[in-house]
Amino acid sequence: MGEDISTEAGDVTLGRIETEVAMLMRLGEATRRRTSAEHRVLDRAAYVILRHLADAGPQNVSALAARLDLDGSTVTRQVSAMQRDGLITREPDPHDGRGMVVSPTPAGLQRMAAVQAARTRLYGEILADWAPEDRDTLAEMLYRLNQSLERRPRR
């Protein structure tokens, strides 16, 4: 009998998590649309790709697609658009002469840094009345959630 109560409580908690994540995604997108142009100098895909390249270094499109859990053709289209915009360069892969690696340009890194700074300021404003410990807890819980999502088997 105690197991049923525990399971029901767990289901309620998981339902709350599902609702809050859905609201976070919706409110995050709405906030992005309402904020200054500084936040929108890059589309979401370009920002994520540039953040990854800045952290991990040059990547081939396949590695980039795998890391971002996207289809290779999707990443190829995004990379082509980013190259046209001067945000990234493609060069021969030193480990595989048939392939190409993608690297951020200084302009791409500059735009990425501007968006990152604007977003950081925005979260500073949103969380201004939160205790530092609560901010730390939120950061750690979001990190753990993302790690769990990344470890989930792809289908």
Shared domain for 95 and 52, answered yes or no, is: yes
Instruction: Say whether both 50 and 28 belong to one domain.
Output: no
Range of the domain at 1: 1-34
Residue 81 has pLDDT above 90, yes or no: yes
Do 79 and 114 fall within a single domain?
yes
Q: Are residues 84 and 119 in the same domain?
A: yes
Q: Are residues 47 and 8 in the same domain?
A: no
Listed residue (153, 136, 150, 145) closest to 17, CA to CA: 145
What is the reported pLDDT for 1? 46
> Two tokens at 17?
């998590």
13 lies in the same domain as 82: no
**Same domain membership, residue 27 and residue 59:** no
**Interval 48-79: pLDDT, tens:** 999 999 999 999 988 899 888 888 889 999 99
> Residues 87-122, buried b or exposed e (16+ Cβ, 10 A)?
bbebeeeeeeeeeebbebbeebbebbeebbebbeeb
Q: Do 70 and 142 have their domain in common? A: yes
The total domain count for the chain is 2
pTM of the model: 0.80
Q: How far apart are CA 11 and CA 100, in angstroms?
A: 47
Residues in the chain: 155
In the block, tokens 């998590």 appear at 17
